[in-house]
């Protein structure tokens, strides 16, 4: 009876349940260090405020850039903050791969009868992302209001969907960057480099020259982290095909990054212990 | 009876990139890579029966962990056959993990920030342990070593020894048929070592779980294993009962000595010379004692003797008449000496 039970496949419900359980436990333990929690949230808000100040000084003097109004750009800014929240909150353990590969600690994740990627990623929930999320919501709401975008359930649903597909691109990009750690020693640089791209993601792709436009759309697809998905809301009258495709492309990109990550993890074997 | 683990002529080779020197070398490395191969495991075969506790012994770098990694399915052997629980471990790693437990000493697999009991609860879900088995095990662990005190502690608050205890408990939580323990006592003090040995012995006995234990500590196998397998440089050099080994080495004694001089500040060569002199002196005094020898061991002069050839007290007295002994300890024979003796053909 027991053996039979074990051979049952572990499906989506199993993983959702497990993830919720780990997350709740982790949150509980984080809450017990309340000071840590508050300080890191405030820290993140302050970091974002200073980033925003630089942005504001730059754009205050230009009423528009290549046909993009200040409030439209602000909208993209807020949107990109929301879109990078999931990668920061839920996929932060990726940053430890290069170190764990170096010390040989990664091997300890390999002995559980669950999906390795899931098991590894579920270990860390990073709370710093929450401060950023709050800030992003504020910026987005302000721009939303100024742009007179209707605030109906349909629009909110479109927002949710487009933020989700946008976030998949950032997650996938970081998965791929992290996976290099399985092959190259000391690949923290690759992670840092990839994460820097989030700063370009917040601008409308049209302000870049054609070469970068191509790169940011098809090679390092950060144009999908804010620009393409948010066109649904900002410029509903000129939505390009890539905007419609962004959810499906996001899923495909994520799947690809997952496969590469798994391949890396499998090819890696712990250093002598 | 059907064996739990069956290994036939497995080999594992690692390709190691030969790094060239300097910037020029690094650039060359980018274009043509020069590999050398390292044979970490060399033609090993063994068969392990249900409920056995096997000590897998060997010095550092012998290939113990590599063998364990192959048995748990995270490494694929370069050649040879492995069957664990009737299955090939690396072909379906995730599923095979259901029925084994693994502890790698000093690398906790529990959630760092959570109380141990919460880690156990998560493991309960991962392995789909039924409620009764789970409760029974928690109570049993508590009765065994008072684990109940540890359940509410977070892993980060624990000492290495407590963490290892909990990791071992966790590896038995789902009643696996085999548990692999890779150097579970490494870095622990004497009392923690004996506590962990007791725990492993009880779990193996009560639950009938097969246990494979790697170590380079003779004390571990002495306390735990009825069968030992010794490997060195990837090759198996011994696979037999501990009794047989003990009948050979039980008579051996190691006496470590410091004399009146300042051994701490002496050059290694000078110390070695002194050991050599002592050895030839002792050999001349005890002509029949073939095994009698002296060597340098970390600022000590270490005398190895066999009790049935010559009594330890006689040797000590004889030395004392010649030189003043400042400090002395008695030790069990080290893994290294055992391996050396096996190589020298004293035992087969
Ligand atoms: N991933 C690896 N790549 C290259 N060499 C390795 C790797 N893992 C182990 N080795 C080498 O294989 C040999 C055996 O290692 P290991 O099995 O860890 O020894 P032990 O556990 O007995 O101390 C060592 O020389 C070690 O350096
Ligand atoms: Mg080892």
Position A187 confidence tier, pLDDT thresholds 50, 70, 90: low
- Domains of chain A: total: 1
Identify whether residues B89 and B218 lie together within a single domain: yes
Residue A273 lies in a domain: no
Tell me the mean pLDDT in the region B3-27. 84
Q: For the domain that residue B284 is a member of, what is the CATH number? A: 3.30.70.260
Identify whether residues B262 and B314 lie together within a single domain: yes
Domain stops at, among B201, B224, B246: B246
Cβ proximity of A44 and A134 under 8 Å: no
Task: Round the average pLDDT of chain A to a whole number and report it.
Answer: 87
Residue A270: its chain B contacts at CB < 8 A? 65, 69, 74
In this predicted complex, what is the ipTM? 0.85
Domain hosting residue B191, numbered range: 45-246
Residue A67 lies in a domain: yes
Residue A272 lies in a domain: no
Position B346 confidence tier, pLDDT thresholds 50, 70, 90: low
Residue B344 lies in a domain: no
Position B347 confidence tier, pLDDT thresholds 50, 70, 90: low
pLDDT above 80 (res B348): no
Tell me the mean pLDDT in the region B51-59. 91
Identify whether residues B179 and B82 lie together within a single domain: yes
Identify whether residues B273 and B145 lie together within a single domain: no
The span from the CA of B279 to the CA of B256, in Å, is 13
pLDDT digits 0-9 by tens, B86-120: 999 988 888 889 999 999 988 899 999 899 999 99
pLDDT above 80 (res A101): yes
Residue A6: its chain B contacts at CB < 8 A? 98-99, 128
> Picking from A142-146, B48-52, B302-306, which range would have the lowest pLDDT averaged per residue?
B302-306
pLDDT above 70 (res A141): yes
**pLDDT score at A66:** 77
The best mutation among B12, B19, B35, B63 to test binding of ligand 1, ranked by most ligand atoms within 8 Å of the C-beta, falls on: B63
Indicate which residue's Cα is closest to atom 1 of ligand 1: A271
- Domains of chain B: total: 2
Strand order in the sheet with B5-17: B35-48, B5-17, B79-84
Residue A271 lies in a domain: no
**pLDDT score at B264:** 67
DSSP string, B175-233: --SEEEEESTTTT--HHHHHHHHHHHHHHHHHH--EEEEEES-HHHHHHH-SEEEEEET
For residue B153, give Cα distances in angstroms to B157, B158, B167, B168: 7, 7, 13, 16
Question: Where does residue A16 rank: exposed (0-12), middle (13-18), buried (19+ CB within 10 A)?
Answer: exposed
Residues with Cβ within 8 Å of residue B277, at least 6 apart in sequence: none
Percent of chain A with pLDDT over 90: 48
Residue A159 lies in a domain: yes
Using the structure block, give the residue that is written with the tokens 């993140």. Answer: A44
Contact (CB<8Å) B113/A110: no
pLDDT above 60 (res A272): no
Domain stops at, among B246, B267, B291: B246
Cβ proximity of A113 and B98 under 8 Å: yes
Residue B17 lies in a domain: no
Highest mean pLDDT among A157-171, B263-277, B284-298: A157-171
Percent of chain B with pLDDT over 70: 95
Contact (CB<8Å) A29/B74: no
**pLDDT score at A231:** 87
**pLDDT score at B335:** 66
Cβ proximity of B114 and A26 under 8 Å: yes
pLDDT above 80 (res A169): yes
Identify whether residues B60 and B196 lie together within a single domain: yes
Ligand 1 atom nearest A269 alpha carbon: 1
Ligand 1 contacts CB of residue B215 (under 6 A): no
Nearest Cα neighbor of B46 from B61, B62, B67 is B67
Tell me the mean pLDDT in the region B134-149. 93
pLDDT digits 0-9 by tens, A36-95: 778 877 887 888 888 788 777 777 776 677 788 888 988 999 999 999 999 999 999 999
pLDDT digits 0-9 by tens, A211-255: 998 999 889 899 999 889 998 888 878 888 888 899 999 999 999
Residue A56 lies in a domain: yes
pTM of the predicted model as reported, rounded to 2 decimal places: 0.84
Identify whether residues B239 and B259 lie together within a single domain: no
Cβ proximity of B337 and B245 under 8 Å: no
Tell me the mean pLDDT in the region A110-127. 93
Question: Helix crossing, A70-83 with A227-234: angle to 10°?
Answer: 130
- The string over B249-271, giving b where at least 16 C-beta atoms fall within 10 Å of a residue's C-beta and e elsewhere, is beebbbbbbbbeeebeeeeeeeb
Domain stops at, among B246, B269, B304: B246
Residue A140 lies in a domain: yes
Identify whether residues B318 and B218 lie together within a single domain: no
pLDDT digits 0-9 by tens, B244-286: 777 777 778 888 888 866 666 777 788 888 889 999 999 898 8
Position A271 confidence tier, pLDDT thresholds 50, 70, 90: very low
Residue B166 lies in a domain: yes
Tell me the mean pLDDT in the region A10-26. 92
pLDDT digits 0-9 by tens, B166-195: 999 999 999 999 999 999 998 888 889 999
pLDDT above 50 (res A273): no
List A residues 99-118 in contact with B (Cβ-Cβ < 8 A): 104-105, 107-108, 110-116
Domain hosting residue A150, numbered range: 2-266
CB of A30 within 8 Å of any CB in chain B?
A: yes
Q: For the domain that residue B166 is a member of, what is the CATH number? A: 3.40.50.300
Identify whether residues B75 and B144 lie together within a single domain: yes
Residue B22 lies in a domain: no
**pLDDT score at B4:** 94
Ligand 1 contacts CB of residue B40 (under 6 A): yes
Residue B130: its chain A contacts at CB < 8 A? 2
CB of A145 within 8 Å of any CB in chain B?
A: no
CB of A29 within 8 Å of any CB in chain B?
A: yes
Cβ proximity of A243 and A231 under 8 Å: yes
**pLDDT score at A65:** 75
pLDDT above 50 (res A3): no
Task: Round the average pLDDT of chain B to a whole number and report it.
Answer: 88
Identify whether residues B222 and B123 lie together within a single domain: yes
Cβ proximity of A172 and A253 under 8 Å: yes
Position A1 confidence tier, pLDDT thresholds 50, 70, 90: very low
Question: Where does residue A176 rank: exposed (0-12), middle (13-18), buried (19+ CB within 10 A)?
Answer: buried
**pLDDT score at B242:** 78
pLDDT above 90 (res B48): yes
Cβ proximity of A213 and A205 under 8 Å: yes
Residue B346 lies in a domain: no
Residue B40 lies in a domain: no
Ligand 1 atom nearest A271 alpha carbon: 1
**pLDDT score at A237:** 80
Residue A59 lies in a domain: yes
Position B123 confidence tier, pLDDT thresholds 50, 70, 90: very high
Residue of B nearest to A19 (CA): B122
DSSP string, A145-192: HHTT----HHHHHHHHHHHHHHHHHHHHHHHHHHHGGGTSTTTHHHHH
Ligand 1 contacts CB of residue B191 (under 6 A): no
């Amino acid at each position: 009876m027991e053996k039979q039970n074990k051979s049952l496949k572990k499906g989506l419900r199993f993983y959702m349940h497990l993830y919720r359980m780990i997350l709740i436990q982790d949150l509980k333990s984080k809450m017990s260090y309340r000071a840590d929690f508050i300080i890191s949230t405030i820290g993140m808000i302050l970091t974002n405020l200073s980033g925003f100040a630089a942005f504001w000084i730059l754009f205050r003097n230009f009423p528009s850039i290549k046909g993009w109004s200040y409030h439209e750009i602000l909208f993209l800014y807020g949107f990109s903050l929301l879109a990078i929240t999931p990668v920061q909150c839920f996929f932060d353990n990726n940053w430890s791969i290069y170190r764990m590969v170096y010390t040989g600690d990664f091997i300890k994740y390999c002995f559980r009868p669950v999906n390795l990627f899931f098991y590894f990623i579920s270990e860390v929930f990073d709370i710093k992302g929450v401060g950023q999320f709050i800030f992003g919501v504020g910026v987005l709401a302000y721009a939303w209001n100024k742009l007179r975008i209707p605030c109906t359930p349909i629009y909110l649903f479109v927002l949710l969907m487009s933020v989700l597909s946008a976030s998949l691109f950032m997650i996938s990009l970081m998965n791929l960057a992290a996976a290099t750690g399985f092959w190259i020693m000391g690949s923290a640089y690759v992670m840092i480099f990839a994460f820097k791209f989030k700063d370009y993601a917040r601008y409308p792709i049209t302000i870049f020259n054609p070469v970068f436009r191509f790169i940011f759309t098809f090679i390092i697809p950060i144009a999908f982290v804010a620009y393409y998905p948010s066109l649904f809301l900002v410029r509903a009258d000129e939505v390009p095909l890539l905007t419609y495709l962004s959810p499906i492309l996001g899923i495909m990109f994520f799947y690809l990054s997952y496969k590469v990550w798994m391949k890396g993890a499998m090819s890696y074997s712990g250093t002598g212990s | 009876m059907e064996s739990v683990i069956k290994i036939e002529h497995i080999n594992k080779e690692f390709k190691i990139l030969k790094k060239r020197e300097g910037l020029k070398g690094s650039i060359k490395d980018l274009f043509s890579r020069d590999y050398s191969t390292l044979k970490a495991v060399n033609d090993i075969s063994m068969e392990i029966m249900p409920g056995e506790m096997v000590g897998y012994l060997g010095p550092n770098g012998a290939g113990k962990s590599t063998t364990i990694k192959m048995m748990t399915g995270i490494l694929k052997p370069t050649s040879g056959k492995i069957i664990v629980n009737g299955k090939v471990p690396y072909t379906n790693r995730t599923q095979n993990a259901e029925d084994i437990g693994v502890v790698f000493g000093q690398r906790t697999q529990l959630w760092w920030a959570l109380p141990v009991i919460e880690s156990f609860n998560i493991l309960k879900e991962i392995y789909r342990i039924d409620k009764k088995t789970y409760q029974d095990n928690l109570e049993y662990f508590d009765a065994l070593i008072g684990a109940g005190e540890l359940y509410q502690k977070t892993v980060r608050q624990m000492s290495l020894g407590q963490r290892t205890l909990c990791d071992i408990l966790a590896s038995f939580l789902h009643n696996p048929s085999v548990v692999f323990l890779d150097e579970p006592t490494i870095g622990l003090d004497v009392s923690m070592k004996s506590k962990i040995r007791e725990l492993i012995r009880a779990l193996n006995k009560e639950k009938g779980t097969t246990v494979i234990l790697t170590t380079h500590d003779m004390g571990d196998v002495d306390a735990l294993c009825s069968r030992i397998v010794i490997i060195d440089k990837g090759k198996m050099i011994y696979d037999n009962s501990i009794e047989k080994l003990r009948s050979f080495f039980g008579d051996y004694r190691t006496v470590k000595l410091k004399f009146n001089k300042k051994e701490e500040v002496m050059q290694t060569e000078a110390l070695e010379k002194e050991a050599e002199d002592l050895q030839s002196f002792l050999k001349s005094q005890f002509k029949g004692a073939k095994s009698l020898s002296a060597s340098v061991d970390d600022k000590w002069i270490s005398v190895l003797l066999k009790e049935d050839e010559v009594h330890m007290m006689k040797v000590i007295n004889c030395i004392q008449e010649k030189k003043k002994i400042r400090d002395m300890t008695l030790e069990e024979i080290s893994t290294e000496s055992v391996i050396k003796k096996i190589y020298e053909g004293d035992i087969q």
